[in-house]
A and B are shown apart, each in its own frame.
Chain A
Amino acid sequence: MRPLLAVLLALALTALLIVAAGKNPLLAYAALGRGALGSWDRVGVGLNKATPYVLTGVGVALCFRARVINIGAEGQIALGGLAATWIALTFPQAPPVVLPLLALAAGALTGAGWAALAAAIRLHRGVHEVLVTLLLNFVGVLIVSEALQGSLGEPGAGFPQSPLLPRASWLPRVLKGSDLHAGIVIAVIVVVLAHVLLWRMPFGFRLRVLGASTPAAVYAGISPPRALLGVMSLAGALAGLAGAVEVLGVHYRLIDGFSHGFGFNAVAIALLGALNPITVLPAGLFFGFLETGALAMQRAVGVPTPLVAVIQGLTMIFILSAMGLSARRSKV
């Protein structure tokens, strides 16, 4: 209920911004809705957009459950995409089903490794994870740029990107007449698994106890460092997987800056999804459709697309404020 109210409040406030730009907000939102859901093709594009959001959002939500503020999804996505590209370009003769699976696994593994590095710096050197993951984002994105400048780049492309990946590595399409690829299926499976992990497994229980109270967790024999390393690596794996899915399902090549903005979106989606894997799914879909719809809105009504970031930022602020206020009430 609370996330819905936050979204409505954010939409109402941004309507004022649309008015300020001299446009009609009702027409703009109508164009946005049509652009997002107007045809199967549009729905497919929106679901593709939402797929990496759901994957990374689930990971961030699990981290936040244990009060680990991991905002490193962007770097983890970038490196996951890089690893998947490298596999696809290095083993083009691998059988069609094996190659994408191998590339996805490599993406997840690389993302997990990058997140584990952040966790290690956090644990051994005591630097707050927000700063570590933030700074590593910049490094991760630059590693991708460097790779595209060097051995992985397409010579003479005029833009930093890899050559087209072999067709055998592409994720299959799952809806006739649209670009929808198998990534959404992976995302739904991940959501279900994460739900079971969080609510039915010992590891999920540990995360929840840790989030409620560190002393209580330690008293119960839970090791906070081990939980932090575990949940960060898991979130990193999901982000890396998301990067691989973007490369293998949408672009069919590695493109410089393809991960831009994904990391912060993941945080917004985790919050909108109330830090619950099952509800992260609709939250991710909402942001995915919001983005595809915004492009249509800009074309049809002339309202610029950065409005989406305004909606995201406001939604986050409203949810965070409401969370703060209710924590205060429960304490009194």
Chain B
Amino acid sequence: MDVAAELLAAALRIATPLLFAALGGILSERAGVFAVGLEGMMLAGAFAGVIGTHTLGHSGLGLLASAAGGALLAAVVAIATVRCGADQMVTGLAVNILALGLTSYLLRGLFGRGEAPIVRVTPLTPMPIPALGDIPVVGPLLFRQPGLTYVGLALVVVMVAALQRTRAGLTLRAVGENPTAAFASGANPIRVRVLAVLGAGVLAGVGGAVLSLQQVGTFTDGMTNGRGYLALAAIIVGRWSPGGALVGCLLFGATDALQLRIQGLRLPFSSYVIQMLPYVVSLTVLAGLGRSARLPAAIGIPFFREPR
């Protein structure tokens, strides 16, 4: 039982950066813009979080910097895809390359005189909730997590409510399903999409900061290492709903946590086979869902006002 609880707690910990990115991706995709750039936005956030904490001397300011870093990259996506109608998938890839190059370059160019320096920050520590944290099994699992993990879980609830129950959420979904109709009923699809993509950047940036500030305590080249793409898969597994994406992220988190644990055992194959688990599992789940996963109807299609 202890082992299982510890495994689940680890799964939740590993899932947190993915969760932030996936929630951001849902905003973007429900508004009709593919979120392939999540990987780059996370990386930008991870970088800005560490650099911000290091230079401003406060992890709260670092967190703000990570949100700004993710949003900056998202702004590039928004201008290219929403304003210019660039292909959303390939633009996402392009900003991922850009983020990888830019963060590695700035790390060396601004802080390391050509070499890659190690900028250390103190990782954010777990914040056990008094009383609740002492409940056996569930306590350590749910109530002795770092602060941002609670924020991520709370955000799931907030986003479900916002998407389903508020006017803004309705408009966002309408723009993702039929921007022309939304436009006719008085919404501004271009502004909605730009804001949704920027929101995705903020959330994915914070997701990156969870990785760099809460889990590792430093920034290394390309440290997101495909997590943005896993977040993208989690969105599809969860069928574009925040709760579903949480399940998807936890699934990948659990696979990863399991992977880290069975690496210690003596098995007839090396750890690389086990490292494939998260990717094989997500492929299997996606393939299992098959065509039942319905995309927002207007995703990928640029919206332009017809000139009159």
Q: Which of B255-295 contact A (CB under 8 A)?
A: 269-270, 272-273, 275-276, 279-280, 282-283, 286-291, 293
Q: By the criterion CB–CB under 8 Å, are A20 and B94 in contact?
A: no
Could you say which of A84-92, A184-192, A205-213, A308-316 contacts chain B?
A308-316
B158 interface hit (Cβ, 8 Å): no
Q: By the criterion CB–CB under 8 Å, are B290 and A309 in contact?
A: no
Number of interface residues of A (CB under 8 A): 51
Give B79 Cβ to nearest chain A Cβ, in Å. Answer: 8
Known: A145-B272, A304-B114. A135 touches B229 (CB 8 A): yes
**CB within 8 A of A316: which of B36, B81, B90?**
B90
Q: Within 8 Å CB of A311, what residues of B?
A: 101
Q: Within 8 Å CB of B247, what residues of A?
A: none
Q: Within 8 Å CB of B110, what residues of A?
A: 20-21
Query: Nearest chain-B residue to A315 (Cβ)?
Result: B94
B108 interface hit (Cβ, 8 Å): yes
A168 interface hit (Cβ, 8 Å): no
Q: Within 8 Å CB of A197, what residues of B?
A: none
Query: Nearest chain-B residue to A71 (Cβ)?
Result: B93
Encoded as 1 (CB less than 8 Å from any A CB) or 0, chain B from 79 to 121 comes to 1110011110111011111111110111011100110000000
Q: Which of A269-312 contact B (CB under 8 A)?
A: 271, 298, 302-304, 306-312
Q: By the criterion CB–CB under 8 Å, are A325 and B85 in contact?
A: yes
Q: By the criterion CB–CB under 8 Å, are B287 and A127 in contact?
A: yes
Q: By the criterion CB–CB under 8 Å, are A309 and B98 in contact?
A: yes
Q: Within 8 Å CB of A313, what residues of B?
A: 94-102
**CB within 8 A of B87: which of A143, A268, A324?**
A324
B192 interface hit (Cβ, 8 Å): no
In the complex, what distance in Å separates the CA atom of A73 from the CA atom of B284? 21
Q: Within 8 Å CB of A306, what residues of B?
A: 100-102, 104-105, 108, 221
Q: By the criterion CB–CB under 8 Å, are B100 and A271 in contact?
A: no
Q: By the criterion CB–CB under 8 Å, are B276 and A139 in contact?
A: yes
In the complex, what distance in Å separates the CA atom of A244 from the CA atom of B80? 36
Encoded as 1 (CB less than 8 Å from any A CB) or 0, chain B from 185 to 226 comes to 000000000000000000000000000000000000100001
| Residue among A21, A135, A298, A309 with most chain B CB within 10 A | A135
Q: By the criterion CB–CB under 8 Å, are A298 and B97 in contact?
A: no
Q: By the criterion CB–CB under 8 Å, are A149 and B270 in contact?
A: yes
Give A143 Cβ to nearest chain B Cβ, in Å. Answer: 8
Q: By the criterion CB–CB under 8 Å, are A21 and B286 in contact?
A: no
Query: Nearest chain-A residue to B287 (Cβ)?
Result: A125
Number of interface residues of B (CB under 8 A): 57
B302 interface hit (Cβ, 8 Å): yes
| Residue among A127, A303, A316, A327 with most chain B CB within 10 A | A127
**CB within 8 A of A310: which of B79, B89, B98, B269?**
B98
Q: By the criterion CB–CB under 8 Å, are A316 and B101 in contact?
A: no
Encoded as 1 (CB less than 8 Å from any B CB) or 0, chain A from 137 to 151 comes to 011001101100110
A320 interface hit (Cβ, 8 Å): yes
B153 interface hit (Cβ, 8 Å): no
Query: Nearest chain-B residue to A146 (Cβ)?
Result: B272
Known: A302-B114, A310-B105, A325-B85. A135 touches B95 (CB 8 A): no
Give B103 Cβ to nearest chain A Cβ, in Å. Answer: 8
Q: By the criterion CB–CB under 8 Å, are B109 and A304 in contact?
A: yes
Q: Which of A97-135 contact B (CB under 8 A)?
A: 121, 125-127, 130-132, 134-135
Q: Within 8 Å CB of B304, what residues of A?
A: 328
In the complex, what distance in Å separates the CA atom of A317 from the CA atom of B102? 14
Known: A135-B282, A304-B114. A130 touches B89 (CB 8 A): yes
Known: A17-B109, A142-B272, A320-B86. A268 touches B94 (CB 8 A): yes
Give A27 Cβ to nearest chain B Cβ, in Å. Answer: 15
Q: Within 8 Å CB of A268, what residues of B?
A: 94, 97
Q: Within 8 Å CB of B86, what residues of A?
A: 317, 320-321, 323-324
Encoded as 1 (CB less than 8 Å from any A CB) or 0, chain B from 221 to 247 comes to 100001001001100100000000000
Give B212 Cβ to nearest chain A Cβ, in Å. Answer: 17
Known: A125-B287, A126-B290, A332-B307. A325 touches B84 (CB 8 A): yes
In the complex, what distance in Å separates the CA atom of A126 from the CA atom of B291? 5
Give A residues with C-beta under 8 Å from B: 17, 20-21, 69, 71, 121, 125-127, 130-132, 134-136, 138-139, 142-143, 145-146, 149-150, 264, 267-268, 271, 298, 302-304, 306-314, 316-317, 320-325, 327-328, 332
Name 26 A/B residue pairs within 8 A (Cβ), A-sorted. A127-B283, A132-B283, A134-B226, A135-B229, A135-B233, A135-B282, A136-B279, A138-B276, A138-B279, A139-B276, A139-B280, A142-B272, A146-B272, A264-B93, A306-B108, A306-B221, A309-B98, A309-B105, A312-B97, A312-B98, A313-B95, A316-B98, A317-B94, A320-B87, A320-B90, A324-B84
With A125-B288, A131-B233, A316-B94 known, 14 other A-B pairs at CB within 8 A are A17-B102, A17-B106, A69-B90, A71-B93, A125-B291, A127-B290, A130-B36, A131-B232, A136-B283, A143-B272, A298-B114, A309-B100, A313-B97, A328-B302
Q: Which 8 A-B pairs have the closest CB atoms?
A: A309-B101, A313-B98, A21-B109, A324-B85, A306-B104, A316-B94, A320-B86, A126-B291
